Amino acid sequence: MKLDIARWKRSRAARDAFQRGWRGGYGLGRSDERDRIPDRQPHVGFDGHPQVELYGIEVDEGLAPLLDVLWRLGLDTQYSCQGHPDHYLPNHPSSWEAATQIFFTDVDQALKFVKKSMELLGPHAAYHEGGFRISVASGIDSPVLRGDVRFSPTLIEPLLSSWTTFEAELAARASAHSG
């Protein structure tokens, strides 16, 4: 098997395929440059995000109200970052670090968050901001897969409003059934 791979790597077809792919990728990068879209965003880091304590846990101040609602509704998170709206470019791959991030303890909860968020915001509300991106990670000392959700920092406020309204509706329904 290794010998077959080594032969393929040395073959003219492999070199040609690489050059075609490289030229195509290079051309796309140059077209982004012509459109003044940076090929790579500057590293943003974690600076500039004031922290607040929420139930004994330090979280980014800009994301704390949304996390509070999600936690009260039973969606558990591990990590989060409010993102950097001044560095975020919708639908641009290099905006990954500038996006808002909520890392859920369970991939099912991440999917529930995205599905309900899309329902609450409307089917096309997040489209122009790049939508939601989910990646799956293995559990920390656990077989449970975790879910990393990223989205535009400009969606934090609409999400907070929508999830708060949803929480109030659930509470009203619960009190109507119990009374």
Instruction: Check residue 42 and give its pLDDT.
Output: 45
Residues of the chain with pLDDT under 70: 1-47, 179
Query: Does residue 40 lie within any of the structural domains?
Result: no
Q: Helix or strand or coil: residue 142? A: coil
Instruction: Check residue 90 and give its pLDDT.
Output: 85
Instruction: Check residue 91 and give its pLDDT.
Output: 80
What is the tens place of the pLDDT at every residue in 124-166?
Answer: 777 777 789 999 988 777 788 899 999 999 999 999 999 999 9
Q: Which of 139, 131, 67 is nearest to 106 (CA)?
A: 139
Query: Does residue 45 lie within any of the structural domains?
Result: no
Shared-domain flag, residues 110 and 140? yes
Query: Does residue 71 lie within any of the structural domains?
Result: yes
Shared-domain flag, residues 162 and 103? yes
Instruction: Check residue 89 and give its pLDDT.
Output: 87
Q: Which residues of 154-171 are buried (b: 16+ CB within 10 A; e: fewer)?
A: bbbebbbebbeebeeeee
Instruction: Check residue 36 and give its pLDDT.
Output: 56
Shared-domain flag, residues 27 and 91? no
Instruction: Check residue 7 and give its pLDDT.
Output: 53
Query: Does residue 19 lie within any of the structural domains?
Result: yes
Instruction: Check residue 34 and give its pLDDT.
Output: 56
Domain extent for 128: 51-178
Shared-domain flag, residues 99 and 154? yes
Q: Residue with structure tokens 């791959």?
A: 93
Shared-domain flag, residues 81 and 163? yes
pTM equals: 0.71
Shared-domain flag, residues 86 and 21? no
Shared-domain flag, residues 131 and 83? yes
Q: How far is CA 7 from the centre of its chain?
A: 40
Shared-domain flag, residues 72 and 15? no
Number of domains, the chain: 2
Shared-domain flag, residues 62 and 141? yes
Instruction: Check residue 37 and give its pLDDT.
Output: 54
- Give the integer Cα–Cα distance in Å for 24 and 8: 21
